[in-house]
């Protein structure tokens, strides 16, 4: 089933031709979709190859909980098509602008507030089609829920930012929208919130988002109407507009606006205590994902920040790399052994270094 409301267009031939040409000339390519996440990563020099003309849902079967979609399809169109069947992308991807595409969503691997409870982008990827460095089409995974044949190259592409191949189409698992959704705001301290979240996490509560900032814990409850109502009564607090979560996901909350300092995303293990970062008040951070994803504006030494996160078992990513010294890089440097196997994989899958060279790390 495909949705007739939205235009479809197959531009595979021209994409293939452009990759082949680049391969012959050994000239690098810079992959672009809606260009909404260009900030996320290192700048790439190369001829632009755009997926934007390669668009449309190629197959949607709500009963099978599966959708296949071309890379250049606007995320908003995909979400609208799913919503008309009462379904959703459970990983709640951020758009960061109206032009966001599904290809960019997969390539950057970013997930929204529901991530700790529902899973990340990679958890919903069932298959990809991609063009390799010679412009040859490959299909990995497929349109079934379980598939363990061969290595999992579909998920390897998630978050690889186009450095290993050009994603042209993706198949995703979708889920029914929950029957009920209600959000709450509780005026409790950060310490109290983190300790409460650790306790709630051990119970089967219908939580689907939990963020502490601005002096309060913000919660979203999703599930059956009965359990959502029961849990609301148990937790108490004030009702919160569900639109809060979209503002958070899209970085539209006042916290994200008008700040000249670099914006950092910290990814940390569950139940990590408030971090002691020199010159930073722990309560000034947004503690999202029940504390596993934290946002902060800080002009701190990059090495110091990364080392604090590493000691806690996590890492730090800069969302405004243009505000950092070039040597710092947006992503936490890889451990030497891990870096060695990244280099080897890149060498094997894109030996000429055509795709998004240097986007993740200068070395590949």
Partner 1 sequence: MNILYDERLDGRLPQRSKDEVVAELSRSIPDLNLLHREEDLRPFECDGLSAYRVLPMLVALPETLSQVEALLKQCNRLKVPVVTRGAGTGLSGGALPLEQGVLLVMSRFNRIVHIDPEARIARVQPGVRNLAISEAASLYGLYYAPDPSSQIACSIGGNVAENAGGVHCLKYGLTVHNVLAVDILTIEGEHMSIGSQALDSPGFDLLALMMGSEGMLGVITEITVKLLPKPETAKVLMASFDDVEKAGAAVGAIISAGIIPGGLEMMDNLAIRAAEDFIKAGYPVEAEAILLCELDGVEADVNDDITTVREVLESAGATDIRLAKDEAERARFWAGRKNAFPAVGRMSPDYYCMDGTIPRRELPRVLKGISDLSRHYGLRVANVFHAGDGNMHPLILFDANREGELETAEALGGKILELCVEAGGSITGEHGVGREKINQMCAQFNHLEIATFHAVKAAFDPQGLLNPGKNIPTLARCAEFGAMHVHDNQLPHPEIPRF
Site for partner 1 in 278-297 (CB under 8 A): 289, 292-293
CA-closest candidate to residue 48, choices 30, 33, 36: 30
What mask of x and - would describe binding to partner 1 in positions 72 to 91, judged by CB under 8 A? Answer: --------------x-----
* Alpha-carbon radius of gyration of the chain: 21
Sole residue written with tokens 């000339």:
25
Sole residue written with tokens 């810079």:
30
Q: Is the CB of residue 158 less than 8 Å from the CB of residue 128?
A: no
Select from 136, 191, 239, 252 the one that contacts partner 1 (CB under 8 A).
136
Q: Is 79 helix (H, G, I), strand (E, B) or coil?
A: helix
Distance CA 331, CA 257 (A): 22
φ/ψ region of 49 (left if φ > 0, alpha if ψ in -120 to 50, else beta) reads beta
Distance CA 289, CA 113 (A): 6
Based on the shown chain and the rule CB under 8 A, indicate whether residue 225 belongs to the binding site for partner 1: yes
Nearest-approach distance from CB 229 to partner 1, in angstroms: 8
Choose the binding region for partner 1 from 36-44, 45-53, 193-201, 236-244 (rule: CB under 8 A): 193-201
Nearest-approach distance from CB 98 to partner 1, in angstroms: 26
Choose the binding region for partner 1 from 9-17, 34-42, 62-70, 94-102 (rule: CB under 8 A): 62-70
Based on the shown chain and the rule CB under 8 A, indicate whether residue 8 belongs to the binding site for partner 1: no
Q: In this structure, are strands 180-186 and 125-131 parallel, antiparallel, or unpaired?
A: unpaired
Distance CA 188, CA 272 (A): 18
Based on the shown chain and the rule CB under 8 A, indicate whether residue 119 belongs to the binding site for partner 1: yes
Q: What tokens were used for 317?
A: 């990513």
Based on the shown chain and the rule CB under 8 A, indicate whether residue 208 belongs to the binding site for partner 1: no
Choose the binding region for partner 1 from 31-39, 49-57, 267-275, 297-305 (rule: CB under 8 A): 267-275
98 vs 362, beta carbon nearer partner 1: 362
Distance CA 216, CA 253 (A): 14
Distance CA 241, CA 183 (A): 7
Select from 2, 10, 16, 65 the one that contacts partner 1 (CB under 8 A).
65
Nearest-approach distance from CB 257 to partner 1, in angstroms: 25
48 vs 225, beta carbon nearer partner 1: 225
Select from 7, 45, 203, 234 the one that contacts partner 1 (CB under 8 A).
203
25 vs 136, beta carbon nearer partner 1: 136
Q: Is the CB of residue 177 less than 8 Å from the CB of residue 228?
A: no
Based on the shown chain and the rule CB under 8 A, indicate whether residue 226 belongs to the binding site for partner 1: yes
Based on the shown chain and the rule CB under 8 A, indicate whether residue 337 belongs to the binding site for partner 1: yes
Q: Is the CB of residue 232 less than 8 Å from the CB of residue 224?
A: no
Choose the binding region for partner 1 from 47-55, 71-79, 154-162, 279-287 (rule: CB under 8 A): 154-162
């Amino acid at each position: 089933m495909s949705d007739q409301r939205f235009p479809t267009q197959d531009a595979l031939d021209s994409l293939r031709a452009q990759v082949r040409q680049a391969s012959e000339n050994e000239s690098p390519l810079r992959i672009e979709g809606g260009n909404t996440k260009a900030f996320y990563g290192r700048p790439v020099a190369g001829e632009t190859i755009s997926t934007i003309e390669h668009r449309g849902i190629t197959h949607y079967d709500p009963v099978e909980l599966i959708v296949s979609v071309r890379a250049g399809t606007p995320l908003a169109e995909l979400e609208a098509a799913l919503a008309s069947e009462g379904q959703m992308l459970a990983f709640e991807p951020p758009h960061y602008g109206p032009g966001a595409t599904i290809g960019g969503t997969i390539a950057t691997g970013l997930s929204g507030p529901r991530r700790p409870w529902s899973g990340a982008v990679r958890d919903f990827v069932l298959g990809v089609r991609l063009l390799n460095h010679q412009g040859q089409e490959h299909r990995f995974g497929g349109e079934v829920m379980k598939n363990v044949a061969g290595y999992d190259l579909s998920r390897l592409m998630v978050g690889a930012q186009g450095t290993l191949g050009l994603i042209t189409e993706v198949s995703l698992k979708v889920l029914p929208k929950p029957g009920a959704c209600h959000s709450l705001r509780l005026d409790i301290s950060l310490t109290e919130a983190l300790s409460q979240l650790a306790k709630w996490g051990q119970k089967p509560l219908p939580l689907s988002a939990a963020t502490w900032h601005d002096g309060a814990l913000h919660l979203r409850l999703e599930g059956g109407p009965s359990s959502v109502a029961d849990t609301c009564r148990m937790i108490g607090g004030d009702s919160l507009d569900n639109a809060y979560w979209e503002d958070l996901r899209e970085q539209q909350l006042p916290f994200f606006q008008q700040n000249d300092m670099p914006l950092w995303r910290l990814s940390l293990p569950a139940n990590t205590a408030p971090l002691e970062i020199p010159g930073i008040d722990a309560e000034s951070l947004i503690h999202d994902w029940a504390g596993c994803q934290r946002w902060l504006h800080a002009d701190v030494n990059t090495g110091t920040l990364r080392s604090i996160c590493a000691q806690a078992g996590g890492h730090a990513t800069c969302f405004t790399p243009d505000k950092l010294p070039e040597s710092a890089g947006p992503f936490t440097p890889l451990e030497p052994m891990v870096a060695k196997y990244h280099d080897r994989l890149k060498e094997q899958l894109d030996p000429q270094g055509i795709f998004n060279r240097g986007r993740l790390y200068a070395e590949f």
